[in-house]
Amino acid sequence: MSAKKPVLEFRKVDKSFGHIDALNDISIKVVEGEVLCLLGDNGAGKSTLIKTLSGVYQPTRGEILMDGQPALFSSPREAQERGIATVHQFGGTYPLMSIGRNFFMGSEPTRGWGPFKYFDRKTANRVAVAEVQKMGITRITDGDRLVGGLSGGERQSLAIARAVYFGARVLILDEPTAALGVKQAAHVLRIVNEAKRRGLAVIFITHQVMHAMAVGDHFAVLIRGAIAADFRKGQKTREQIADLMAGGESIASLEASIEGYRDTHDGLPPPPAH
């Protein structure tokens, strides 16, 4: 067990949509300075879990605690104000706007007064570039550059740097490396480590076991809305984690049965199961 403090905690949380139980008896802690990897196949409940953490949904049953106190986030804005930031797969950035504008979207620094107030482009650019560089992206030097010209990894990094600058305590990263090549993914993983080093509690959602293993301190595998396994770094091998994500069915035996079918059916794959 970790001696660090949980920032957020779910206690026996259920979330149902009519008769569909998307989350079932979820108890989990998100700890400062740690990365919690949330793993699970399509439809396992990962999105529902992060939406419940970030105020989009309210639990049907159970309790959410923040800093040990009961917390109810009635909207995403309220969760954001409490320091819960969500970064989605494509960074949630605006491609036709500059880096400086994107960084300060919604909290623009201004100069002047009353009707003479205007967006302080220089300050925005200076701060945005400095913050992004502090996270290790030294290739970004011009805050006027359009975000549309950045790589996928740089966009993710910009969104993470922004969340850190605006005081996020919990950073939820929804498949940040899913659409990235190896080098770009490595870049984002380094930034995840940097956010953790700065004491943020990070929730990292991914399908990629290797990416999870590169940054995770704590792992939770969701299957059909329930936590099927909850373990810490070093307690399971890559193969064991992949098997858990596949619902306990050994990937190796699945591959062997597909190969066996191909051998007797002119190399054709088996038809999909119904």
47 counts as binding ligand ATP under rule CB under 6 A? yes
Taking the least distance from each CB to ligand ATP, the nearer of 158 and 171 is 171
User: Residue 38's closest CA among 165, 186, 163, 207?
Assistant: 207
48 counts as binding ligand ATP under rule CB under 6 A? yes
Shortest distance, position 60 Cβ to ligand ATP, whole Å: 12
Say how far apart CA 71 and CA 18 lie, in whole Å.
24
* DSSP letter (8 states) at residue 174: E
Question: 14 CB contacts (<8 Å, ≥6 apart)?
Answer: 21, 23, 24, 25, 26, 59, 60, 61, 62
Binding-site size for ligand ATP (CB under 6 A) equals 11
The dihedral of CA 241, 243, 244, 246: what is its sign? Answer: positive
Shortest distance, position 238 Cβ to ligand ATP, whole Å: 20
Identify the residue among 30, 32, 35, 46 touching ligand ATP (CB under 6 A): 46
44 counts as binding ligand ATP under rule CB under 6 A? yes
Q: Which stretch binds ligand ATP (CB under 6 A): 44-52, 64-72, 78-86, 192-200?
A: 44-52
Shortest distance, position 51 Cβ to ligand ATP, whole Å: 8
**Residue 26: strand, helix, or coil:** strand
* DSSP letter (8 states) at residue 104: T
Shortest distance, position 91 Cβ to ligand ATP, whole Å: 18
User: Residue 39's closest CA among 191, 262, 240?
Assistant: 240
**Residue 9: strand, helix, or coil:** strand
Taking the least distance from each CB to ligand ATP, the nearer of 22 and 200 is 22
Residues 5-34 that bind ligand ATP (CB under 6 A): 17, 20, 22
**Residue 257: strand, helix, or coil:** helix
Taking the least distance from each CB to ligand ATP, the nearer of 22 and 79 is 22
Say how far apart CA 244 and CA 231 lie, in whole Å.
12
* φ, ψ at 181 (rounded to 5°): -75, 175
Q: Which stretch binds ligand ATP (CB under 6 A): 35-43, 99-107, 160-168, 240-248?
A: 35-43
244 counts as binding ligand ATP under rule CB under 6 A? no
Question: Which residues in this chain contact ligand ATP in the complex, by CB under 6 A?
Answer: 17, 20, 22, 40, 42-48
